[in-house]
Amino acid sequence: MYRRWLWPGFALPGIVWLIVLFVVPFYAVLSVAFGTVDPILGQPVPIWNPLEWNAGWVIEVLERLSPGGTFAGVAVRTVVYIAVALGLSLLIGYPVAYYIARHAGRTKSLLLILLIAPLWISYLMRMLAWVNLLAPDGYVNRFLVFTHVLSEPRDWLGGQASTVILALVYGYIPYFILPLFAALDRIDRSHLEAARDLGASPFGTFRHVTLPLSKVGILGGAVLIALPMFGDYYTPNIVSGAPETSMIGNQIDLYFHGGPQPTIGAAITVVLSVFLTVLMAYYLWTIHRASREARLA
């Protein structure tokens, strides 16, 4: 009896903590999103019984998200920003991860430390650094004017989509490179030698061996940074603050901190969570398929 309950007993405090402060709170979001609003005070009235849930708010959010709705522009912008940021992260991150995994030699440890360092520098500090650099009289404008790329300083922080996308890339790319590096580092060199021995060109080896073997790493890194990007509201707020660059996270933030309607905020959160769960499920399914193929091969 004592033995049987020993190990679950160890896990118990953590499990209870996560149920009370992770699962139950998420259920509270559902209850508010599927709840009603007090007609006089405007306060949300959660409905705890799922059988009595009122889908009105979630349906309203879905309607506003669909083409022509008031959230449609924000939704499209969020997806476009994140897609472009992912593309840029891949373009910058793949060569870096590839070089460190394959060719860095003696400098590998040093480069890894430098690669990990940004993860331990507060995200807000790194955004603050760019706000300093992109200010009207900051280094970036002064450099661009000095080299005559720009005739006069540009207002980078006044609601430019390019600034927000670059800030997203700068903020999240370290989280993308590391899983990618791990995947590339794990590739057995004998596979590459075999490909070369069988007559593949260096590029052919890359295309037919390295790239397919690193696909899981690319996907893992992409999911790892796409999930927090979908919930990001502080990056656009810091480097732009303009409504023209607001993302879906900003809408949630507005409905809780700016506006009087947490119910709509909760409904957007629910819709976003469902979307991200689908994304996550797709990723897990891909990994599962890849590992099964690897076992069969």
Partner 1 sequence: MSAVAELQAPPTRSSVGRFRGWLTNPWGRPRFLVVMTWAYVVWSLVPVLIAVQFSFNSTRSRTVWQDFSTRWYWGDPVDSVWHDPGLRSALVQSLKLASADVLIATPIGVLLAIGLARWHGFGSRPSNFLMLFPLVTPEIVMGVSLLLIFTEVFTFVGTGTTAQILGHVTFSISYVVVIVRGRLFSIGRQYEEAAADLGASPTGALVRVLLPLLAPAIVASAAVVFAISIDDFVISQWLSSGGDTDTVPIQIYSATRAAPLPSTNAIATLMMLLTLASVTLGFLVWRAFTRGERRAGAKVAEEFRTFEMR
Site for partner 1 in 33-62 (CB under 8 A): 44, 46
Does position 127 interact with partner 1 (CB under 8 A)? The reply is yes
CA 282, 283, 286, 291 dihedral sign is negative
Nearer to partner 1, 104 or 144 (CB): 104
Q: Which of 34, 81, 130, 172 binds partner 1 (CB under 8 A)?
A: 130
Does position 211 interact with partner 1 (CB under 8 A)? The reply is no
Does position 90 interact with partner 1 (CB under 8 A)? The reply is no
Q: Which of 53, 99, 242, 290 binds partner 1 (CB under 8 A)?
A: 99
Nearer to partner 1, 5 or 73 (CB): 5
Please state, in angstroms and as integers, the Cα–Cα distance from residue 237 to each residue in 60, 160, 233, 243, 297, following that order: 26, 12, 6, 9, 49
Does position 139 interact with partner 1 (CB under 8 A)? The reply is yes
The CB-of-203 to partner 1 minimum distance in angstroms stands at 12
Find residue 45's DSSP bridge partners.
36
Kindly state the number of chain residues that form the binding site for partner 1, as judged by CB under 8 A: 93
**Amino acid letter, 92:** I
Site for partner 1 in 106-125 (CB under 8 A): 108-109, 111-125
Mapping DSSP onto H, E and C, the string for 161-217 reads: HHHHHHHHHHHHHHHHHHHHHHHHHHCCHHHHHHHHHCCCCHHHHHHHHHHHHCHHH
C-alpha 151/C-alpha 51 separation (Å) is 64
Q: Which of 210, 213, 219, 232 binds partner 1 (CB under 8 A)?
A: 232
CA 150, 233, 285, 100 dihedral sign is positive
Span interacting with partner 1, options 64-72, 74-82, 212-220, 250-258, rule CB under 8 A: 250-258
Find residue 230's DSSP bridge partners.
none
State how beta strands 36-37 and 44-45 pair.
antiparallel
Does position 146 interact with partner 1 (CB under 8 A)? The reply is no
Site for partner 1 in 170-199 (CB under 8 A): 170, 173-175, 178, 182, 185
C-beta of residue 248 within 8 angstroms of C-beta of residue 75: yes
Q: Which of 217, 220, 221, 265 binds partner 1 (CB under 8 A)?
A: 265
Does position 88 interact with partner 1 (CB under 8 A)? The reply is no
Distance spanning both ends of the chain, measured CA to CA: 45
